[in-house]
A = this chain, B = another copy of it.
Amino acid sequence: MLIRDAEAADWDAVWPFFRTIVAAGETYTYPRDLDEPTARGMWMLAPPGRTVVAVDETTGDVLGSAKMNPNHMGGASHIASASFMVDPAHAGRGVGRALGGSMLAWARAEGYRAVQFNAVVESNTRAVALWKSLGFEVMTTLPEGFLHPTLGYVGLHIMYRRL
C-alpha cells in the first residue's frame, strides 16, 4: 500500500466511497446529503492542509483517503486535526492504520505539538480502538452529542494525542 499526496484526479475515486460513508450517517458529522462540489472543497485541501490517498500498488485502486489540517488558529495553531475515509470494500486491510501513521508523521514534520479529533462517534468502536492503538486518548465524551440513524443519541468523543 502506497500513501501519497492526493491529486485532483484522485477525487473521482474517493467520492464514491466518501458519499457512501457520509450518506450512512453513522460515523461523520457531515450532512448525509452532502453534495459533490461541497464535499470536494472540504476534503481536497491545499497547504497548510494536506490530503493523501492510500493506493494499492498492484491494482492502482484508491483504498482510502485522509485529510489533515490545523485544528485551531492563533495561540492554538500547534494542534492539528485529521479525518479519514476508508473504502468499505477494502476494510480490514490496515488502510486506516496506515493513513493514521502517515498523518502522525506529517503532523510531527510540520511542527505540530498535538493532534485533536473533534468528533469521533462513540458507537464507531472500530475507529475508537484504532485511534487508541495509535496513542490517542478519549479526553471527554459529549453526552448525546451525535444522533445516530439507528442507535439514537450516542456520545461524541474528543480524542487527543500529544506528539
Contact = CB atoms under 8 A, between A and B. Distances in A.
A91 B113 CA distance: 34
Copies of this chain, tallied across the complex: 2
Interface of A: 22, 25, 28-32, 72-79, 113-114, 116, 118-119, 121, 139-140, 142-149, 156, 158, 160, 162
A22 B73 CA distance: 12
A31 B73 contact: yes
Contacts of A73: 29-31
Contact of A158 (B29, B74, B114, B158): B158
Given A28-B74, A75-B25, A75-B29, A116 B142 contact: yes
A96 B144 CA distance: 28
